[in-house]
Amino acid sequence: MGPAVLIWRLAVRDLRRRLTQSVLLLLVIAAATSTLALAFALDGTSNHPWSITRAATAGPDVMVETYPGTHPDLNQLDALAHAAGVIGTSGPYPMASPVLRTGKVTDPVFAEGRDETMPTIDRPNVTNGTWVRPGGVVIERGFADQLNVHMGSQVTLDHRPFRVVGIAVDTDRGANWRPQLVWVTRADAVQLAAQGDKLAYVLNLRLSDPPSAPAFASAHSSPRMFVATWQQIRSSDEKELTVVQIVLLLGTWLLGMLAIGSVAVLVGGRMIEQIRRAGLIKAAGGTPQFVAVVLLAENLFLALAATAIGLLVGYLVAPVLASPSLSLLGSANSPSLTAPKALIVVAVAVAVAIAATVFPALRAARSSTIGALNDPARPPRRHGTMIALSARLPVALVLGLLLAVRRPRRAILTTVSLLITDVMIVCALALHSSFASSRSTDVMVSQPGLGQPLLARVDSVVLVVTVLLVVLATINTIFITQATVLDAQRPSALARAFGATPNQVSTGLTVAQLIPALLGGILSVPAGIFLYRIAARVAGGAPNASLPVPWMAAVIVGTVAVVAALTLFPARAGARRPVAVVLRSD
Amino acid sequence: MNAIGDAPALRARGLRKEYGREAALVRAVDDVDLEVIPGETVAVMGPSGCGKSTLLHLLGGLDRPTSGDLFFRDRRVDQLSERALAELRRREIGFVFQAFQLLDELTAQENVELPALMARSSPRQARRRARQLLEQVGLGERASHLPSALSGGQRQRVAIARALVNQPAIILADEPTGNLDSAATVEVLRLFGALHADGLTLVVVTHDERVAATSDRLISMRDGAFVEDTRMANTGGPDVQFLAGLDG
């Protein structure tokens, strides 16, 4: 009972005493567990909404569309309707391509002409209002949401007024397949086509063997028609989630790596303090195992709290990200955070806690009690060659180089931390560049104009992951800077005692941080483009990633500038402490 | 607590502690033989760097000797595992450091309770014992204060109470008044006097002649070795007159 009370007391009091560090460590682990939970929650959520919608709308197995023209050939469509394997049809429906205007929004749309009664195949599910009638338009739900139009709204199609009489959902006109879809009566569609001088026809087919749709499509392909199978349409609509999942998975890996780096920074920054504390506990009769248990209890407490946050975020956010859009019925599966997946998240957090415990515990166990109490800092390595080489450099640069070389692992950690963050920023920029130039249209962009829900969704996920990475990298940089400033107090004070000015010392400290920042920034450009290409390939798209040179330069310069800004204040504060005070307190 | 006349509380034979190698070899403690009998107060004095603190750390199992034997009440302890040494420190030895070495995040009361809880006392017993000791060292009113809210002398008294909480056989004190002003030094000396009167065994490393003056035996060290071992005139109790003189 006694030791348990003591462990609890020591752990809780220490966490409370270094509240900021504890909260930051909690956030770092929570960021990693959140993305992991999200990635797990999104895994396997994609099929059901599309299937539900297809069942509810009696979606066709094959959709055939003639190319717009003034004299479409309907004989070919008729031949297809009577082809072997076809057991039902609906259409052909005339389809015009007018321009829709509502308020300030102008967008080209596909206006499909329908009968006022619903067919047996491809029956759009009217979720609000009624089906088509003369002068009335029914708008696809996802598109209506983007246009911000409602029941009763007035729109124009090629300047002809229409009233919105219904909102509907349909699988063969899904969110990404053809997002800008409206339905009007046959007569209205033909009239609209006459105004625009272009008319296409759509025919929906039901096959006796739906899985054989691709074979049917290839057997009946024609340069004058576009033939799409239900598998193609599903694949197109599911690409959104696939890309989101890839981005999340990528983000999870990057965040995971950065979280480990952050934990190393936070734990490393506290190492001296922890070793002294371990010495104190050992001097009072604590065994090395007891010290390890106290350290573990602290980190475990944080890790479990972070896991709870991560699972909660995963549970709450996954449905938002997984929801394929308003274009499909139902919702994505409830986040599939099953017990085994939740256990994996817990295991990862516990592993982080153990990793955070092992090094200080081992050092505490290895160091003699009195050594830990008196001089817990490990002496830095001396690099004579570097010192000799730097003899001709300006004082500030020499001080910066010496500081960077004194703690090579810290410099590497800074480089890696910034590299990981910049890699994600480069990926995000490459994605934007790709969107802008529409190079990878087969995956990322289906249509120009308003109807690009996929782009918006991927964009927001990339933004979330990038922001998380930037926050973590900022925390890392602040802690590493603080640790460097603290560590450099004595050598800086000595340098000042021998004539260096506070400005030279603070510039030296800044230089020590800028070297890894520059390295991380430069390496991130090729690494980010490489990673983006892999991700695009996995997503099934064209891996054409290129980043304009000014953007590349902005990543590098931006990284260096941000690190300089984050370093300058603590460096200046550290360099202005009176020399005598620093040397006396050492 | 032990009475004078029993077997040695602490015995060291050929104790040596070396740092570095070959030309850079330093013998911090050089072939020391020592016997401390129960109830005795031993002061170890010498110039800075002569090895007296290192000797104290070796005696208390805070550091390991390079060679030599160390016995605690006839039990050889220099080869014990880290865990066994920790248990020995927990139950048999109380440490008092120059820099107090209190845990900043725990209150005075909780700092004193720490070794008791580690020794598997119940929380209630630990609390009662800590409260009693804090009263004894005159800090009953400040039990709930953090170390940062206490003066140097008060912190050292908390550290002494912590050293006593498991009723150890011996107290090892390393420059206990080194960081204290005169008034606080007197407080600590009074406390040591009272402990001595209770028959507790004390080994005190010090620069302070006032501390040495209250001991039964004074050992002088130079270059890691004992150069003088003197029995003091005031054997059998603290020099009350001397302490009274300090008060004035």
Smallest CA-to-CA distance from A443 within A548, A544, A525 is with A544
Chain B closest CA to A269's CA: distance in Å? 18
Place of tokens 């150890």: B168
Binary contact (A370, B63; C-beta < 8 A) = yes
Chain B interface mutation, best of A9, A366, A375, highest count of B Cβ atoms under 10 Å = A9
Q: Do A2 and B122 touch (CB under 8 A)?
A: yes
Does the beta carbon of A6 lie under 8 angstroms from any beta carbon of chain B?
yes
Kindly list the residues from chain B whose CB atom is less than 8 angstroms away from the CB atom of residue A282. 86, 89
Q: Which positions in chain B have a beta carbon within 8 angstroms of at least one beta carbon in chain A? A: 57, 62-64, 82-83, 86-87, 89-91, 95, 97, 101-106, 110, 113-123, 126, 162, 166
Contact state of B103 with A285 under an 8 Å Cβ cutoff: no
Q: List chain A residues with CB under 8 Å of B66.
A: none
Residues A150, A122: contact at Cβ < 8 Å? no
- The mean pLDDT of B187-203, rounded to a whole number, is 85
Q: Of the candidates A277, A365, A369, which has its C-beta nearest B62's C-beta?
A: A369
Q: What pLDDT, on the 0 to 100 scale, is given for residue B111?
A: 92
- Enumerate the residues of chain B whose CB falls inside 8 A of the CB of residue A10: 103, 105-106
With CB atoms and an 8 Å threshold, state whether B63 touches A13.
no
Q: What percent of chain B has pLDDT over 70?
A: 91
Separation CA A96–CA A197 (nearest Å)? 9
Put simply, the answer to whether B120 touches A286 (Cβ < 8 Å) is no
Instruction: Search chain B and give the residue with CA nearest A366.
Output: B82
The whole-number pLDDT of residue B118 equals 86
Contact list, A16 vs chain B (CB under 8 Å): 105
Q: Which of A6, A287, A373 sits opposite B114 (nearest CB)?
A: A6
For residues A275 and A291, what is the distance between their CA atoms, to the nearest angstrom?
10
Q: What pLDDT, on a 0 to 100 scale, did the predictor assign at position B110?
A: 92
**Nearest-by-Cβ selection for B105 from A3, A14, A286:** A14
- Whether chain B has a CB inside 8 Å of the CB on A5: the answer is yes
- Considering only the beta carbons, identify the residue of A13, A281, A287 that sits closest to B82: A287
Q: The tokens 């085994």 sit on which residue?
A: A340
User: Which chain A residues are closer than 8 Å to B104 by Cβ?
Assistant: 17
List C-alpha distances in Å: A582 to A17, A172, A488.
24, 73, 10
State whether residue A19 sits within 8 Å of chain B by CB: no
**In terms of CA atoms, which chain B residue is nearest residue A278?**
B103
Q: Residue A405's pLDDT is what?
A: 72
| 3-state DSSP assignment of residue A206 | strand
φ/ψ region of A540 (left if φ > 0, alpha if ψ in -120 to 50, else beta) reads left
Give per-residue pLDDT as tens, A151-203.
888 888 888 899 999 988 776 555 555 667 889 998 888 888 776 557 888 88
- Flag residues of chain A having pLDDT under 50: 46, 324, 326, 329, 331-333, 438-452, 586
Q: Is B97 helix (H, G, I), strand (E, B) or coil?
A: coil
DSSP A74: H
Residue of B nearest to A365 (CA): B82
pLDDT of residue B34: 92
pLDDT at A438: 47
Select from A14, A19, A280, A585 the residue whose CB has the most chain B CBs within 10 Å, as the one to mutate to test that interface.
A280
Please give the pLDDT value at position A423: 85
pLDDT digits (tens, 9 = 90+) for A425-445: 888 787 777 666 543 443 333
Nearest Cβ partner of B118 from A285, A368, A373? A285
- Point out which residues pair with A125 in neighbouring strands: A169
Kindly state whether A304 is in contact with chain B, defined as any CB-CB distance less than 8 angstroms: no
**What does the pLDDT look like over B19-61, one tens digit per residue?**
888 777 888 899 999 999 998 999 999 988 888 888 998 898 8
The chain B residue lying nearest A367, using CA atoms, is B63
Highest mean pLDDT among A325-334, A509-518, B167-176, B191-200: B167-176
Residues 468-507 of A with CB under 8 A from B: none
**Is A485 within 8 Å of A571 (Cβ atoms)?**
yes
Contact B97 A373 (CB under 8 A): yes
- Which residues have CB under 8 Å from A578's CB, separation 6+? none
Chain A residues with beta carbon closer than 8 angstroms to that of B105: 10, 13-14, 16-17
Chain A residues touching B56 at Cβ < 8 A? none
The alpha-carbon gap from B39 to the nearest alpha carbon of chain A, in Å, equals 22
pLDDT of B4 over the 50 cut: no
Kindly state the helix (H) or strand (E) to which residue A145 belongs, with its residue range.
Answer: helix A141-147
User: Which own/partner contact pairs does A380-387 have at CB distance under 8 Å and 24+ positions apart?
Assistant: A380/A406, A380/A407, A381/A405, A381/A406, A381/A408
In this structure, are residues A163 and A137 in contact, taking their beta carbons and an 8 Å threshold? yes
Beta-carbon separation of A285 and B97 below 8 A: no
3-state percent helix, strand, coil for chain B, nearest multiple of 5: 40, 25, 35
Nearest to A370 among B57, B82, B126 (CB): B57
Token pair, residue A387, equals 């010192």
Q: What is the 3-state secondary structure (H, E, C) of A408-444?
A: HHHHHHHHHHHHHHHHHHHHHHHHHHHHHHCCCCCCC
A370: distance to nearest CA of chain B, Å?
6
Q: Do A10 and B106 touch (CB under 8 A)?
A: yes
CB nearest to B118's CB, from A284, A368, A371: A284
| Spacing of C-alpha A407 from chain mean position | 33
Identify the pLDDT of residue B107: 92
Q: Compare CB distances from B122 to A1, A277, A370 and report the shortest one's residue.
A: A1
Cβ neighbours of residue B241 under 8 Å, at least 6 residues apart? none
Provide the H-helix boundaries in A172-287: 186-196, 213-219, 230-283
Nearest Cα of chain B lies from the Cα of A402 at a distance, in angstroms, of 26
